[in-house]
């Protein structure tokens, strides 16, 4: 902000706000949770161990999405794939688990953040 | 129409969100310093545990019956609470926060509205977006909305007064079950022949004015569908929240700080009036969700105070530093809110053998003066300037504290 005295800044009115990653990654703040990927289950699909997952619970999961779901007493992340009339959860190695009525999907992964 | 929205077993439900292994398992949440049980879910209740149980007495029983025990994690609860509130604000034009897990939502009375449908939509949206279970009571007054909610918890989660067989529902509820009555007043009502909520509703107003307190009269009016309670009143609050929507949007930090200072002062004054000290401060900043012309921003942060305090400058500094972290340029803000959480009796908080704060006597003298001036000249007679909050250590027993799953990037849930 320009001071009380002197010339007003010539840039006044042209200030840009800094780029905020939240604006890019988070579409619905109350429904968005961050989670940490552990292990190489999805390495061949481009999600590596220690990646930060942006999980949006309000984004409906469709085939081709990566979803976080409850797997026994842990959370797991897999790709939702279509198998004819039904859906399955697939890791990067070709292992699949059928989606049943008991499957509790936590949310859809809408972004991945990784330090290089 | 008034919607009362209440999260079911709020603290326990928060603890379960990121613990898939605890689905359908009993959960107990302890008070500050792990003293007593302050929250428990239905599964823990069915094992015979109760609110108010001293933890040291039930620790073994918890172990034996596989109950998961947690210290209160207000950082997590405040974040989840703020998520619920921002969803309510998106779905309803007027939201009033009553406590960390309860809100009143006010909907205009449209023609032929499907209020139950709106209620289900709110419930389902909250469940989908946050995973939290809420139940909703819908009625023309707050008292009836709370009453409907208590029934809704056992009947699918959404219940409207208009769909009920009203008199028979009230007849099967004891008068003490109605909001604002309580055990002590129940005994007094009994002397006047009022046993059930229906007796209370049908008690003649002229007799009520003679025999009951003003709150009793208001409750009767509310039971008859006449809104009579316009300000939140409660004996002793566990959290105190102060906020107002600005008449005109504010976009600069200085004015927001000024507004927040005055709300914080109001909240601290209220805490001091009931003899409470706060453990946590939470600040909430939002734009106007109904303004479609500008960009939207809505965020909340909370901080733990080094120890429970009712010392205004300390609380204010914590609140302001949260606001500075929340603030982003380029938005037209509509509302700033401060919430004091984890309130406990100030006397209990002072009971320490070795006083570590050497300024304490001076702080207390200053606040005594503040109280006296406030009492004599009104709440806005004194104002604060700014000071700098120094880094201070945490010192509370929280042996069973869950991680700050949603607010600390080092503690976010893991996925395999």
Is B414 an 8 Å CB contact of chain A? yes
pTM: 0.72
Mean pLDDT of chain A: 89
Residue A113 has pLDDT above 70, yes or no: yes
Tell me the two tokens of residue B332.
Answer: 């037209």
In a domain, B391, yes or no: no
Tell me the two tokens of residue B364.
Answer: 């207390």
With CB atoms and an 8 Å threshold, state whether A29 touches B87: no
Q: What is the pLDDT of residue B27?
A: 97
Task: Output the domain CATH number for residue B304.
Answer: 3.30.1490.100
B338 and B215 part of one domain: no
| Separation CA B257–CA B319 (nearest Å) | 9
B276 and B377 part of one domain: yes
- Domain count across chain B: 3
Residue B349 has pLDDT above 80, yes or no: no
- The verdict on ipTM greater than 0.95 is no
Please report which helix (H) or strand (E) contains residue B365, including its range. Answer: helix B360-377
Instruction: Enumerate domains of chain A plus CATH numbers.
Output: 28-113 (2.10.109.10)
From the CA of A46, how many Å to the nearest CA of chain B?
Answer: 14
| Separation CA B144–CA B140 (nearest Å) | 7
With CB atoms and an 8 Å threshold, state whether A74 touches B23: no
Tell me the two tokens of residue B101.
Answer: 């897990």
In a domain, B234, yes or no: no
With CB atoms and an 8 Å threshold, state whether B130 touches A68: no
Tell me the two tokens of residue A25.
Answer: 């990654």
Residues above pLDDT 70, as percent of chain B: 90
B contacts of A104 (beta carbons < 8 Å): 20, 23
| Separation CA B25–CA B47 (nearest Å) | 11
Q: What is the pLDDT of residue B70?
A: 96
B355 and B411 part of one domain: no
Residue B254 has pLDDT above 50, yes or no: yes
Domain range spanning residue B213?
142-228
Is B24 an 8 Å CB contact of chain A? no
Closest partner CB to B131 (pick from A29, A34, A57) = A57
Q: What is the pLDDT of residue B359?
A: 77
Task: Output the domain CATH number for residue B62.
Answer: 3.40.1170.60
B111 and B168 part of one domain: no
Q: What is the pLDDT of residue B101?
A: 92
Chain B residue with minimum CA distance to A14: B330
What's the mean pLDDT in B230-252?
70
B contacts of A77 (beta carbons < 8 Å): 415-416
In a domain, B178, yes or no: yes
B128 and B199 part of one domain: no
Q: What is the pLDDT of residue A4?
A: 55
B contacts of A29 (beta carbons < 8 Å): 83, 86, 298-299
The predicted-structure confidence for A89-102, as pLDDT tens digits, reads as follows: 999 888 998 888 88
What's the mean pLDDT in B396-405?
84
Q: Which domain-ending residue is among B178, B200, B228?
A: B228
Number of A:B CB contacts under 8 A?
80
Q: What is the pLDDT of residue B368?
A: 84
Residue B45 has pLDDT above 70, yes or no: yes
Residue ranges of B 324-343 with Cβ closer than 8 A to chain A: 328-330
Task: Output the domain CATH number for residue B151.
Answer: 1.10.150.810
B207 and B294 part of one domain: no
Chain Cα centroid distance, residue A77: 10
The predicted-structure confidence for A5-46, as pLDDT tens digits, reads as follows: 666 666 666 666 788 898 899 999 999 999 999 999 999 999
The predicted-structure confidence for B133-188, as pLDDT tens digits, reads as follows: 999 999 999 999 999 999 999 999 999 999 999 999 999 999 988 998 877 788 88
Chain B residue with minimum CA distance to A53: B415
């Amino acid at each position: 902000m320009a001071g009380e005295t002197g010339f007003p800044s010539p840039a006044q009115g042209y200030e840009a706000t800094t780029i905020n990653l939240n604006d890019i990654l988070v579409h619905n703040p109350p429904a968005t949770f961050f989670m940490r990927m552990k292990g190489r289950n999805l390495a061949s699909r481009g999600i590596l161990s220690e990646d930060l997952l942006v999980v949006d619970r309000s984004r409906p999961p469709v085939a081709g999405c990566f979803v976080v779901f409850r797997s026994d007493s842990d959370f797991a992340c897999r790709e939702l794939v279509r198998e004819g009339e039904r859906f399955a959860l697939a890791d990067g190695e070709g292992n699949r688990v059928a989606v049943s009525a008991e499957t509790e999907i936590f949310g859809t992964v809408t972004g991945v953040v990784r330090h290089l | 129409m008034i919607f009362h929205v209440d999260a079911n077993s709020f603290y326990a439900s928060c603890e379960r969100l990121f613990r898939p292994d605890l689905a359908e398992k009993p959960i107990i949440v302890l008070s500050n310093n792990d003293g007593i049980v302050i929250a428990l879910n239905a599964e823990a209740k069915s094992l015979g545990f109760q609110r108010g149980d001293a933890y040291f007495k039930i620790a073994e029983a918890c172990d034996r019956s596989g109950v998961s025990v947690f210290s209160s994690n207000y950082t997590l609860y405040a974040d989840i609470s703020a998520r619920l509130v921002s969803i309510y604000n998106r779905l309803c034009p007027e939201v009033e926060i009553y406590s960390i897990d309860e809100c009143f939502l006010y909907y205009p009375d449209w023609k032929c509205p499907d209020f139950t449908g709106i209620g289900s939509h709110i419930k389902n949206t909250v469940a989908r977006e946050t995973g939290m279970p809420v139940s909703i009571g819908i009625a023309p007054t707050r008292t009836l909305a709370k009453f409907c909610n208590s029934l809704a918890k056992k009947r699918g989660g959404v219940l409207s007064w208009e769909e009920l067989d009203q008199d028979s529902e009230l007849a099967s509820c004891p008068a003490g079950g109605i909001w604002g009555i309580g055990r002590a007043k129940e005994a007094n009502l009994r002397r006047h022949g009022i046993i059930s909520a229906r007796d209370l509703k049908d008690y003649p107003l002229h007799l009520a004015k003679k025999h009951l307190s003003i709150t009793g009269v208001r409750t009767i009016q509310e039971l008859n569908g006449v809104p009579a309670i316009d300000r939140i009143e409660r004996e002793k609050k566990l959290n105190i929240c102060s906020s107002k929507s600005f008449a005109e949007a504010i976009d600069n930090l200085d004015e927001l700080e000024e507004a927040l200072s005055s709300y914080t002062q109001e909240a601290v004054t209220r805490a001091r009036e009931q003899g409470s000290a706060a453990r946590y401060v939470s600040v909430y900043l939002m734009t106007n969700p109904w303004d479609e012309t500008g960009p939207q921003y809505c965020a909340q942060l909370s901080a733990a105070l080094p120890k429970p305090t009712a010392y205004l400058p300390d609380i204010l500094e914590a609140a302001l530093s949260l606001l500075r972290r929340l603030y982003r340029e380029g938005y037209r803000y509509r509302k700033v809110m401060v919430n004091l959480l984890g309130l406990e009796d100030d006397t209990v908080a002072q009971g320490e053998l070795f006083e570590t704060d050497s300024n304490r006597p001076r702080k207390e003298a200053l606040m005594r003066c503040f109280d006296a001036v406030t009492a004599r000249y009104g709440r806005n007679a004194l104002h604060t300037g700014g000071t700098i909050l120094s880094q201070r250590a945490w010192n509370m027993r929280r042996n069973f504290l869950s991680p700050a799953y949603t607010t600390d990037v080092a503690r976010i849930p893991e996925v395999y």
